[in-house]
A and B are shown apart, each in its own frame.
Chain A
Amino acid sequence: MTTFTGDLVNIPDSCCGAAEKRMHDGDHDMTIAFVGNPSVGKSAFFSRVTGVGVMVSNYPGTTVEMTRGTVKVGQKKIDIVDLPGIYSLGTSTEDERVSKEYLLREYPDVIVNVVDATRLERNLYLTLQILELGVPIVIALNQLDAAREMGIDIDAPKLSQILGVPVVPTVATKGIGLDEVLKEAVNPSLSPAGRIRVHYDNHITNAINDLGAEFPDTASVIRLRALENDADFVRMCCRPHEADLLLSKSSEMASEIEDAHNMAISDTMARDLYGEAGQITDSVQSIVEKDTSLKHRIDDMLTSEYVGVVGLAAALLLTFLLVFRIGGFLEEGIVHLFETYLIAPVEAELATSNPLVRNVIIYSLLGIEAGFAIAIPYIGIFYIILSIFEDSGYLTRAAFLLDNLTHRLGLHGRAVIPLVLGLGCNVPAIMATRALNTLRERRIASVLISLIPCSARTVIILGLVGTFVGYWAAVSIYVLEIFIIFITGWILGRGLPGERTGFIMEMGPLRHPDVVSTFKKTWLRIREFVYIAFPLLIVGSALLGGLDTLGILDIFENAVSPISVGILGLPAFAATALVFGILRKEMALEILAVLAGTANFAMVLTPLQMYVFAVITTIYIPCVATIAILKHELGTRDTVMISTFTILLAFTVGAVIYQIGMLL
């Protein structure tokens, strides 16, 4: 998850000598880290500067791990690090911890603090905290276009003068001001000297000084955090012994101060920080009220009681209808092209050659055809729609709307975001659960995500059942899935022990999804799909061709036929397809096409068989990639349990449907 490499982590001799330089790995001349609140545009910035494709969306928690890229400025080769957004240096969820850990353990040479101009005061809270770190900082005053739209004007030179660090106005999504930021960042005269100091309450200032006399090696930021009893922070950057001493000494002082103020020390500090932030904001910002009532009305409607829920259901139905219609249309065309211009001529060509060679070649070609014809149209269309959901800010509205419902699943509304992402691909969705607060919530969400029909499973549901049985039959599979997910979540929510936390989430403003970035993001995802899926598909199909010729497939299919044919009523060759489906879910269908020798499934399967096949592939065992990420995030035990549970569930449900279907 984190990309810390051992040699970069230098254990400081002293307790966080703030000015200490980190060791360079030799490849780069300097390291710049992007730090800022969630949803301020760090990733857009990073992507523009480095050309490394990263996901950019409109909800907090898009980036859950750090990403590195390299850029050359003049003669210097610079390592750029994009960090998950944080609201403060205080408490954090797991994704935010990555940022905190990076800042404290692996000093970047320069921090680029990306600040959202539309909410300057709140953003300055973090800025004032990281200014205390003693690392050179450049501030990118981002989203100036959005601020202007809202009638907010900020005097950047004045802000720079007050804070004592360079402030560059930027619009990251359009690439405005980014070069200037980098130029400032590599400027050798950039130093932590001469910057603003927050005026803390006298008691706190005195305590910091007293602690300084006793622990001369500590940076003032450490002493501040120690006073606030942020043990996590202090331990992260001090040696254990020193950390304990510092913490016990400061907790004594803290309780004295708390008695004097009759209020928690963290409240006092927050008051002072916000006081400062508010003062700065007032002196650099001017607001002209603008009429944004239409946008607000739409926004209000999205979360209103009836329109909101109906709208959400309609949006999902429409999504699948679009994926089905457009995907199906594209599929037909592509199949036709492949059959006419590739498969048929090659088959004719190879009619007289060695059967093993012929099978391996034909099967590989069928695999490629299936990949292009079945997977890409559906997945591509789906991702375009998903990214519109992500970029518009609708996901946070959906989370708000569904908080009540998710509570019954032992989750709160924030979990809706990873769950919806799961409709795209389970892997990033499970990673996105890092933004949830507790392990308990992450476990529940991960189990539910692995049951969510991802785009690959959508390919099977729509491509097989939707096309050959009917659209509403396909929809009924989703309804069945939702039902299963709900029951599972309900049981887990009751049964799983652990802490429950409240739902707190920032809701960014609605934005127009940008056409270019939508296609960019879709392309990024499709490319990843092609890189991972196609080699597997081609090798798998070729292997299949070989095994078939050698008669091994028959042996396997006969061995499992009591279950596959007897209990589930599937044709014998479907068992092989199911095995390949573990590699990638949509491969189950692709291999089915290869084995059937045609993508026109109506010729080889009854509607009931198609339905059962689709239901089983949707539920049974997460694909290899999901298993790997589950193991990484939750450990082996949970992964084995989830896999076993889903296999049993799939076959039970499949058998029941077959039995009912036979009766009808």
Chain B
Amino acid sequence: MYTERTEEYLETIQGLINRTSSPAKNKDIAKELDISPATVTEMIQRLSDEGLVTHAPYRGVELTESGIIQANNLQRKHLVLKNFFTRVLDINEEVADQEACALEHVMSDVVLERMCSYLAEKGLCNISETTLPSKCSLSREHYISLVEMNEKTKGKVVMVALPKETKDRLTSLGMVAGEDIEIKRKQKQGCISIITKGTEIALGNEVAEKIFVKPAENDHIHRRLGKHS
């Protein structure tokens, strides 16, 4: 999932740079991927730690050499896949694009090369003609981890990615997926407490991190800079 997300970012950043011929702005990346600017800031920090992008304040994000290689590689995968779907399997372009968006992240280089040489054999390999991929959006980014929520904001629990025992305990305390919750207290880098079913429950950072919430409208997302790296 991390690599997948990394790749989505690289793809988006490259797309933006190509279109505007200038460094990509966080704001635009956020808009393109339909996620919060805070999440982008955090992710860019991580990408920069991994040496894939460089980031200068007020200027924007640029890809490093290895970032460009990875982005190009990804773009190639996308195009090969799309070609294969539309021309060999006769799938319509829109669906092919979507499928390619998903598969490009998991396809190995071996399969890529085989697919490419197959297309070449059949004389179908005209990558340069194909258009750039349309937006590969990250629909799951609509929800965020509980630790990113602000004090006194509300949201709905979407997913609890914790071991069964911990999850059962949360369930018995009234915190289940689909439940509306409110952040009552929040400490910097520490505990968070939520109100669910009229009960206040304190959660450690390590638990709250794995609970995903869809923030209610108009609620701002807390900025957490580079906490994960």
A interface with B by C-beta (< 8 Å)? 87-88, 90-91, 118-122, 125-126, 264, 266-267, 270-271, 274, 300, 303, 305, 396, 399-401, 403-404, 407, 412-413, 501-509
Q: Is the CB of B200 within 8 A of A506?
A: yes
Write out the residue numbers on chain B whose beta carbons fall within 8 Å of the beta carbon of A271.
176, 178
CA distance A126 to B171 in the complex (A): 11
Write out the residue numbers on chain B whose beta carbons fall within 8 Å of the beta carbon of A403.
187, 190-191, 202, 204-205
Which chain B residue lies CB-closest to A263? B177
Interface residue B102 (Cβ < 8 Å from any Cβ of A): no
Give the contacting residue for B203; candidates A267, A300, A501, A504; CB below 8 A.
A504
Q: Is the CB of B172 within 8 A of A404?
A: no
Write out the residue numbers on chain B whose beta carbons fall within 8 Å of the beta carbon of A407.
204
Write out the residue numbers on chain A whose beta carbons fall within 8 Å of the beta carbon of B167.
266
Give the contacting residue for A502; candidates B164, B197, B206; CB below 8 A.
B206
Q: Is the CB of B204 within 8 A of A413?
A: yes
Contacts A403-B191, A404-B189; is A502 near B203 (CB within 8 Å)? yes
CA distance A158 to B168 in the complex (A): 30
Would you mind naming 27 contact pairs between A and B with Cβ atoms under 8 Å apart? A87-B173, A91-B164, A91-B168, A91-B169, A119-B197, A122-B199, A125-B172, A125-B174, A264-B164, A266-B164, A267-B176, A267-B177, A274-B176, A303-B187, A305-B187, A400-B202, A404-B190, A407-B204, A502-B166, A502-B206, A503-B207, A504-B169, A504-B173, A504-B202, A505-B201, A507-B193, A507-B202
- Which residues from 151 to 184 on chain B have a C-beta closer than 8 Å to any C-beta of chain A? 162, 164-174, 176-178
Write out the residue numbers on chain B whose beta carbons fall within 8 Å of the beta carbon of A270.
171, 176
CA distance A88 to B169 in the complex (A): 8
Give the contacting residue for A501; candidates B166, B170, B173, B205; CB below 8 A.
B166
CA distance A88 to B199 in the complex (A): 15
Interface residue B198 (Cβ < 8 Å from any Cβ of A): yes
Contacts A274-B176, A413-B204; is A400 near B193 (CB within 8 Å)? yes
B60 to chain A, nearest CB (A): 34
Q: Which 10 A-B pairs have the closest CB atoms?
A: A503-B204, A502-B207, A88-B172, A87-B172, A404-B190, A122-B174, A507-B200, A403-B191, A270-B171, A122-B197
Interface residue B188 (Cβ < 8 Å from any Cβ of A): yes
- Which residues from 75 to 104 on chain B have a C-beta closer than 8 Å to any C-beta of chain A? none
Write out the residue numbers on chain B whose beta carbons fall within 8 Å of the beta carbon of A274.
174, 176
A252 to chain B, nearest CB (A): 18
Give the contacting residue for B171; candidates A266, A300, A509; CB below 8 A.
A266
CA distance A501 to B168 in the complex (A): 13
Write out the residue numbers on chain A whose beta carbons fall within 8 Å of the beta carbon of B174.
119, 121-122, 125, 274
Which chain A residue lies CB-closest to B207? A502
Q: Is the CB of B185 within 8 A of A300?
A: yes
CA distance A508 to B193 in the complex (A): 12
CA distance A400 to B167 in the complex (A): 20
Contacts A87-B172, A502-B207; is A404 near B198 (CB within 8 Å)? no
Since A87-B172, A119-B198 are in contact, a sample of 17 more A-B pairs with Cβ atoms closer than 8 Å, ordered by chain A residue number, is A87-B173, A88-B168, A122-B197, A122-B198, A264-B164, A271-B176, A300-B185, A303-B187, A305-B187, A400-B202, A502-B166, A504-B201, A504-B203, A506-B202, A507-B202, A508-B200, A509-B200
Q: Is the CB of B168 within 8 A of A503?
A: no
CA distance A507 to B206 in the complex (A): 18
CA distance A396 to B188 in the complex (A): 18
Give the contacting residue for B191; candidates A122, A126, A300, A413; CB below 8 A.
A413
Write out the residue numbers on chain B whose beta carbons fall within 8 Å of the beta carbon of A501.
166
Write out the residue numbers on chain B whose beta carbons fall within 8 Å of the beta carbon of A121.
174, 197-198
Write out the residue numbers on chain A whose beta carbons fall within 8 Å of the beta carbon of B188.
305
Q: Is the CB of B172 within 8 A of A503?
A: no
Contacts A91-B165, A119-B199, A507-B200; is A400 near B185 (CB within 8 Å)? yes
CA distance A119 to B164 in the complex (A): 25
B114 to chain A, nearest CB (A): 33
Q: Give the most central of B189, B198, B206, B207: most A CB within 10 Å.
A: B198
Q: Is the CB of A396 within 8 A of B198?
A: no
Q: Is the CB of B199 within 8 A of A412?
A: no
Give the contacting residue for A399; candidates B166, B201, B202; CB below 8 A.
B202
Q: Is the CB of A505 within 8 A of B206?
A: no
Write out the residue numbers on chain B whose beta carbons fall within 8 Å of the beta carbon of A400.
185, 187, 191, 193, 202
A408 to chain B, nearest CB (A): 12
A606 to chain B, nearest CB (A): 45
CA distance A271 to B177 in the complex (A): 9
CA distance A303 to B187 in the complex (A): 8
Write out the residue numbers on chain B whose beta carbons fall within 8 Å of the beta carbon of A91.
164-165, 168-169, 172
Which chain A residue lies CB-closest to B192? A400
- Which residues from 196 to 223 on chain B have a C-beta closer than 8 Å to any C-beta of chain A? 197-207
Q: Is the CB of A122 within 8 A of B173?
A: yes
CA distance A305 to B169 in the complex (A): 28
B130 to chain A, nearest CB (A): 35
Which chain B residue lies CB-closest to A90? B168
Q: Give the most central of B165, B190, B203, B206: most A CB within 10 Å.
A: B190
A291 to chain B, nearest CB (A): 17
Write out the residue numbers on chain B whose beta carbons fall within 8 Å of the beta carbon of A504.
166, 169-170, 173, 201-204, 207
Q: Is the CB of B198 within 8 A of A412?
A: no
Which chain B residue lies CB-closest to A505? B202
A579 to chain B, nearest CB (A): 43
Which chain A residue lies CB-closest to B204? A503
CA distance A2 to B187 in the complex (A): 38
Q: Is the CB of A396 within 8 A of B202?
A: yes
Write out the residue numbers on chain A whose beta carbons fall within 8 Å of the beta carbon of B178.
271
CA distance A403 to B199 in the complex (A): 19
Write out the residue numbers on chain A whose beta carbons fall within 8 Å of the beta carbon of B170.
504
Write out the residue numbers on chain A whose beta carbons fall within 8 Å of the beta carbon of B202.
396, 399-400, 403, 413, 503-507
CA distance A505 to B191 in the complex (A): 11
Which chain B residue lies CB-closest to A87? B172
Residue-by-residue, is B43-75 near A (CB-CB < 8 Å gives 1, otherwise 0)? Answer: 000000000000000000000000000000000
Contacts A88-B168, A122-B197; is A503 near B206 (CB within 8 Å)? yes
CA distance A379 to B140 in the complex (A): 57
CA distance A125 to B200 in the complex (A): 16
Write out the residue numbers on chain B whose beta carbons fall within 8 Å of the beta carbon of A264.
164
CA distance A118 to B173 in the complex (A): 14
CA distance A122 to B173 in the complex (A): 7
Q: Is the CB of B187 within 8 A of A266?
A: no
Q: Is the CB of A266 within 8 A of B185?
A: no
B84 to chain A, nearest CB (A): 30
CA distance A508 to B195 in the complex (A): 11
CA distance A399 to B203 in the complex (A): 11
Which chain A residue lies CB-closest to B198? A119
Give the contacting residue for A507; candidates B172, B201, B204; CB below 8 A.
B201
Write out the residue numbers on chain B whose beta carbons fall within 8 Å of the beta carbon of A266.
164, 167-168, 171
CA distance A607 to B4 in the complex (A): 68
Write out the residue numbers on chain B whose beta carbons fall within 8 Å of the beta carbon of A413.
191, 202, 204
CA distance A407 to B206 in the complex (A): 10
Write out the residue numbers on chain A whose beta carbons fall within 8 Å of the beta carbon of B203.
502-504
Which chain A residue lies CB-closest to B178? A271
Q: Is the CB of B185 within 8 A of A303?
A: yes
Write out the residue numbers on chain B whose beta carbons fall within 8 Å of the beta carbon of A506.
173, 199-202
Write out the residue numbers on chain B whose beta carbons fall within 8 Å of the beta carbon of A412.
204
Contacts A122-B174, A122-B197, A506-B200; is A404 near B169 (CB within 8 Å)? no
Q: Is the CB of A88 within 8 A of B171?
A: yes
Write out the residue numbers on chain B whose beta carbons fall within 8 Å of the beta carbon of A87.
169, 172-173
B197 to chain A, nearest CB (A): 5
Q: Give the most central of B162, B176, B204, B205: most A CB within 10 Å.
A: B204
Write out the residue numbers on chain A whose beta carbons fall within 8 Å of the beta carbon of B165.
91
CA distance A403 to B203 in the complex (A): 9
CA distance A501 to B170 in the complex (A): 13
